[in-house]
């Protein structure tokens, strides 16, 4: 079925009729208007398509609804489908609403993107390929104003949570505007079985009406605060990202290596010999720079 669709289906612009296109644009405008009416004009409203065609496979649960790989696109048809929806959102954004309506794409292979999404994506979340194809990503940032987040897996429970701090600092210094663990939700079994992706765990066992937050979440909060401090000093001194990197390297090493379990794995950054006193010295230096 999937193969027949790939071979016989018309271009996506012809496959969806005008009623569908008008409805998509209309719904997007309604969301934007709702945000504007509530005064949520500083919060990003992301249009993000997260589905893969192979979820239609019964061995994958058979619950898929997409004919394309919209999350981590791999082939030309996938990128063309993303372009189609991004163009519809661009028409919705043509109104004067103050809402921050963004088109987000999670792209694990920016080197295959070519010019399909030029001028259409506002935010791209890129895996370990961000480091390998950083020059291409930053060129897209310069030409089209695309913001980048780097996504991967949080550090294993058995490793130092300082990894989160180094990850955030490196991403910022190399041009990204955020980091994103690809999964943060764990089951109750994570309370007794260490699970790399379980940053949030059900709290029912402890009488909590909501998740139990792991220490790694607090490490990410500290990482965000460190980057905010570095960004404040950078604004004061007029530093570019690479200049900020040189300042950070005087205190903390940023040369983590990407570890992948298999080709499709989002991967994670692995670090060695991270020491908390190094981060503390960096913070003190940045605070002193702000006081100058």
Torsion of CA 224, 277, 217, 215, to 10 degrees: -160
Report yes or no: 56 and 62 within 8 Å, Cβ to Cβ.
yes
Report yes or no: 232 and 288 within 8 Å, Cβ to Cβ.
no
Q: What digits encode the pLDDT tens for the residues 121-167?
A: 999 999 999 999 999 999 999 999 999 999 999 999 999 999 999 99
Q: What digits encode the pLDDT tens for the residues 175-206?
A: 999 999 999 999 999 999 999 999 999 999 99
Give 14's contacts (C-beta < 8 A, 6+ positions apart).
none
Q: What digits encode the pLDDT tens for the residues 18-76?
A: 999 999 999 999 999 999 999 999 999 999 998 887 666 777 676 777 888 999 999 99
pLDDT tier for residue 266 given thresholds of 50, 70 and 90: confident
φ, ψ of residue 78 in degrees (nearest 5):
-65, -45
254 or 243: whose pLDDT is higher? 243
pLDDT score at 89: 97
Partnered with residue 202 across adjacent β-strands are 211
Above 90 in pLDDT, residue 217? yes
pLDDT score at 99: 94
pLDDT tier for residue 120 given thresholds of 50, 70 and 90: very high
pLDDT score at 262: 67
Instruction: In whole angstroms, give the CA distance from residue 85 to residue 83.
Output: 6
CA-closest candidate to residue 127, choices 291, 252, 34, 266 = 266
pLDDT score at 263: 66
Report yes or no: 274 and 162 within 8 Å, Cβ to Cβ.
yes
Cα end-to-end span (Å), the chain: 66
Instruction: In whole angstroms, give the CA distance from residue 105 to residue 98.
Output: 22
147-152 and 100-107 beta bridge pairing: unpaired
pLDDT score at 173: 97
Give 121's contacts (C-beta < 8 A, 6+ positions apart).
86, 103, 104, 105, 144, 146
Indicate if the alpha-carbon torsion angle 59, 61, 63, 64 is positive or negative: negative
Give 76's contacts (C-beta < 8 A, 6+ positions apart).
116
Q: What digits encode the pLDDT tens for the residues 79-118?
A: 999 999 999 999 999 877 899 999 999 999 999 999 999 9
Ordered by start, the domain boundaries in the chain are 1-152
Which segments of the chain does DSSP mark as H helices, in order? 2-8, 12-15, 18-38, 76-92, 129-132, 134-144, 162-173, 215-237, 241-249, 276-291
pLDDT score at 226: 98
Report yes or no: 77 and 68 within 8 Å, Cβ to Cβ.
yes
């Amino acid at each position: 079925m999937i193969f027949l669709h790939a071979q016989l289906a018309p271009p996506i612009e012809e496959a969806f009729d005008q009623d569908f296109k008008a409805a998509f644009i209309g719904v997007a405008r309604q969301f934007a208007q709702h945000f504007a009416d509530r005064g949520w004009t500083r919060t990003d409203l992301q249009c993000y398509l997260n589905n893969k065609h192979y979820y239609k496979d019964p061995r994958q649960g058979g619950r898929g609804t997409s004919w394309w790989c919209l999350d981590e696109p791999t082939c030309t048809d996938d990128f063309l489908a993303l372009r189609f929806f991004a163009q519809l959102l661009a028409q919705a954004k043509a109104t004067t609403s103050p809402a921050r309506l963004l088109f987000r794409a999670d792209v694990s292979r920016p080197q295959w993107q070519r010019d399909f999404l030029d001028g259409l994506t506002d935010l791209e979340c890129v895996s370990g390929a961000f480091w390998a194809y950083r020059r291409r990503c930053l060129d897209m940032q310069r030409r089209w104003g695309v913001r980048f987040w780097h996504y991967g897996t949080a550090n294993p429970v058995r490793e130092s949570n300082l990894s989160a701090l180094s990850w955030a600092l490196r991403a910022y210094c190399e041009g990204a505007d955020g980091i994103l663990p690809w999964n943060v939700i764990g089951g109750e079994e994570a309370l007794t079985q260490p699970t790399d992706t379980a940053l949030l765990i059900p709290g029912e066992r402890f009488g909590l009406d909501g998740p139990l937050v792991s220490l790694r979440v607090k490490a990410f909060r500290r990482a965000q605060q460190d980057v905010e401090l570095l960004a404040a000093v950078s604004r004061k001194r007029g530093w570019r990202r690479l200049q900020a990197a040189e300042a950070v390297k005087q205190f903390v090493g940023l040369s983590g290596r990407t570890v992948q379990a298999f080709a499709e794995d989002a991967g994670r950054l692995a670090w060695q010999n991270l020491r908390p006193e190094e981060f503390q010295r960096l913070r003190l230096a940045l605070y002193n720079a702000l006081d100058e």
